[in-house]
Structure formats: structure tokens, C-alpha cells
Structure 1
Amino acid sequence: MTNMQPPINLPAPYGMHGGLAKAFAACPLIAILRGVTPADAADHGRALYEAGFRIIEVPLNSPQPFDSIAAIRQALPADAIVGAGTVLHPSYVDSVKAAGGELIVMPHSDADVIRAAKAQGLACAPGVATPNEAFLALKAGADVLKMFPAEQLGPTVTKAWRAVIAKEVPLVPVGGIAPDNMEPFLKAGANGFGLGSALYKPDQDAATTARQARAFIDGLAIARGEAQ
């Protein structure tokens, strides 16, 4: 009898969180508002949404991050996904959900954090830097693989990962992404990007965020060959 083995590019049964899937399909750019304050969070959230963004994260090493998550969630329509970044321990997941967050983003691939997020019905994007971390994160229930740091991994590694990770699993490079360097990653098999200091820096005004958000939207269109 032949011992049938599954193809190596298939993870454990995969299904992306519904709300995140819709938001990601609308715009696969994740805005990282590290350092935003609750007083300014809603204005930046609205600027990003109006530019076309649908996924926003507030890292937990920002001032009063849960208040900022709540402010952005209240300011934006339901088709936007708001969540937390730099979630280092599963104990934070409950607080993110209580603030209205729907997404947990991590710099690492701690299975306990992933499972805590999924148990609360939240989407999860763990940071992974090796294929082993990637497959273990998928096994734990990850929705998206955050390739971090993207500067170190680069398009060559992205292409190699894409050969063995199911095409249904989004690969999202984070770290050093700019409006003019997305095309090589997309050609290598990336599906979206997390955007940090090139999009938002602490204390910048919402008009600057709006301008830089539009630059990323335009850059994505050019990278995809969709620009007019």
C-alpha cells in the first residue's frame, strides 16, 4: 500500500480570519502607529482610512496603547481592522479585545500568544524569520506570516519560502519597507507589507500621515503594475 504524504507546501488546515481577509484584500498594507497617543490616534486612523488603508496596528510599547486602539476603532467604519502590535505575552490578548482590537501582531512566533489570540476569535500575525518558525506558527493557528525583519530576509528568502508555503498563506514583509522597494518582494511572492517609520513617526501630524499613506498606496499600485 502506498504511504500517501501531503504536499510539503500545505500547512495545517488553513483559513484566514474573515474580517482580516476582507480588509487585506481591499488593501494589503498594515499601518504601524508606534508611539501614537490616544489624543491623536483617531485623526491618524481617519487619515489612513481615507487614503485607502484598512488595517492598522498600535504597538503595545506606545503610550496608553489600549486607549489608542479603542479611539481608532470607534473612529473608523466596520470594514477597518484595528489591532495591537508588539504583543509579547498572551496576557495582553484580553485587553486588546476589550479595547475593540481584532488583530494581534507579534515580533516573534510564540505559540502561546497565537493560541490565546485564536481562542478569543482574533486574527494573528506572528513574526517569523525561518521556515521552521513559519510552519510552527501556522500549526498554532497564524493567519498571516509577518516576515521580520524584511531587511535581513529580502526578496531572495521570500521567493524560497513561497516555494514551500501554501499560496493561500499571506507572506507580509515588515521592516525597511518604503514606497519604492515593494516590487521585488511582490515578484518573489509576498502578498502585503507592514509599514513602520516610513509611514508614521511619533509626533508627526495627521496631514503628514495622510501624505505618506498616499505615497504607499501609489507605490503599491506601481509595484503591481496597476498605475495609470
Structure 2
Amino acid sequence: MQPHINLPAPYLPHTGLMAAFEACPLIAILRGVTPVDAVEHARALYEAGFRIVEVPLNSPRPFDSIAAIREALPVDAIVGAGTVLHASFVHDVKAAGGELIVMPHSDPEVVSAAKTHGMACAPGVATPTEAFIALKNGADVLKMFPAEQLGVHVVKAWRAVIAAEVPLVPVGGIAPDNMGPFLSAGANGFGLGSALYKPGQSAATTAAHAKAFVDGLRAARAGAKS
């Protein structure tokens, strides 16, 4: 008889993030977006069905973009920052109106700072040890990064030992036509980077890419159930 899998700490995920994730479990990564362009791209994403948008901090004037997007989108959207490498940046993201901290690593100081400020946090993890430590520190979702390297078989192995209520979100190399195997293995959503948005592209292009991903997710879900 398989033992019950317990979480390493009480799992109390950010309600706003979970609601947005349930509406659409696709996280848009607008790396390189400028404050001038941020709103039109964010609106295109929202109209396509996206409800979670992150602006990586290695983008031009990222806090201005976060503030502009937060002001422009309805309250059911979650706006935040990606590539948050140090805890000192968390306050600035919060001040700009951000509600989500996304990281390529699982630094406990960054996770703790996010939770102290009442924000959601998605740390990057590449091993089960990192995953369970991140959950112990208060992670809301687990960003499986880089997904190209980890692959579907790793998602399946993690899903067997990580509680079902914890979302697994592969990031890196995700395309509209390759989500199905990840979903079947136990993934819950995806972070989308350059296949969705590249600096300099038009908002119409972003809208077309967003629609392709939403349609791809719908098809992948249908295939996973069949």
C-alpha cells in the first residue's frame, strides 16, 4: 500500500494566483518589453484568455512596465516580475503593483520576501530536493526549469511524489504543439517565453501567438483525457 504523500509544510497558496491559474494556466513572459509597448501586448494577451503576465527584471525599466500593465488590466489578472534574483527587488515589484515573483532559482530569501509581502511566488526548481525545499519555504507553484532539459519523464516522476494540489509548471521550450505529453505526465500549466513574445514584435503578432497557445492547450487537454 502506497503511503500518503504529505507536504513538507501547510500548503496555503495565493488565492488570486490560483484563481488566475485555474482560468488559464499559461504564464506570459514578456522578456525585453518596454513601458511604451507593455500595455498593448498585455491587453492582447488578456483578450486571448491569458490571466498571468510577468515582466522579467532584465527588461528595460521593468517596474514601469509592471505598473502600466497592472493599471491597464482587470483585477482578475495577476501581474508580476520574473528573473527576480535578489530579495531586495521584491519590495520594488510590490510597490509597482506586482503580485507575483517568478525566479529561475529557489533562493529561500526571495521566496520568504515574497510571502512576507503577501505575494505569490514561483521559484525555479530542477531537482526534487529543490522542489520540496521551495514548498517548505512557501512556494505557490513549482517552476520546472529548464523544461527542455528536464523533459516529460521527469515531470511524471515528480508528479508521483509531489502532492496533486501543487501545480507543476514547466518553463523553457514550450510550444503550442508540445504541451500534451507534459499534461499527460502531470504538468498543470506552462511558462511561455520567446515562442510567445519577442521584443519588437507587434501586438497583433503577440495576439496570434497567444491564440495559438490557448488553442494548443485546449487540444492538449482534450488529447490527455482521451
Do the two structures share a fold, i.e. TM-score over 0.5?
Answer: yes
Matched, 1:160 2:157: yes
Listed as ranges, the gaps of 5+ residues in structure 2 are none
The corresponding residue for 1:116 is 113
Question: CA deviation digits over 1:99-148, x for unaligned, max 9?
Answer: 00000000000000000000000000000000000000000000000000
Matched, 1:35 2:28: no
Q: For 1:225, what is the secondary structure of its paired residue? A: helix
The corresponding residue for 2:147 is 150
What is the TM-score when the length of structure 1 is the normalising length?
A: 0.95
Distance 2:140 2:7 in 1: 14
Question: CA deviation digits over 1:55-105, x for unaligned, max 9?
Answer: 000000000000000010011000000000000000000000000000000
Pairs within 5 Å for 1:87-102: 87-102=84-99
Q: For 2:33, what is the secondary structure of its paired residue? A: coil
CA contact (8 A) 1:125 1:142 kept: yes
1:64 aligned to which of 61, 65, 72: 61
Structure 2: which amino acid aligns with 1:25?
E
Distance 1:116 1:190 in 2: 26
Runs of 4+ in 1 over 6 A off after TM superposition: none
Question: CA deviation digits over 1:12-53, x for unaligned, max 9?
Answer: 110210100100000000000000000000000000000000
Residue-pair matches, total: 221
Distance 1:7 1:45 in 2: 41
The corresponding residue for 1:174 is 171
2:50 aligned to which of 49, 53, 64: 53
Distance 2:133 2:4 in 1: 16
Distance 2:24 2:17 in 1: 10
Single out whichever of 189-198 and 11-20 deviates more from structure 2.
Answer: 11-20
Distance 2:159 2:67 in 1: 35
Distance 2:172 2:79 in 1: 20
Listed as ranges, the gaps of 5+ residues in structure 1 are 1-5
2:128 aligned to which of 116, 119, 131: 131
2:195 aligned to which of 184, 193, 198: 198
CA contact (8 A) 1:9 1:163 kept: no
Matched, 1:73 2:70: yes
What is the TM-score when the length of structure 2 is the normalising length?
A: 0.96
Q: CA deviation at 1:9?
A: 4.6
CA contact (8 A) 1:72 1:82 kept: yes
Distance 1:218 1:175 in 2: 19
CA contact (8 A) 1:9 1:164 kept: no
The corresponding residue for 1:104 is 101
Structure 2: which amino acid aligns with 1:200?
Y
1:15 aligned to which of 12, 35, 40: 12
Structure 1: which amino acid aligns with 2:110?
V
Question: CA deviation digits over 1:134-178, x for unaligned, max 9?
Answer: 000000000000000000001100000000000000000000000
Q: CA deviation at 1:8?
A: 3.8
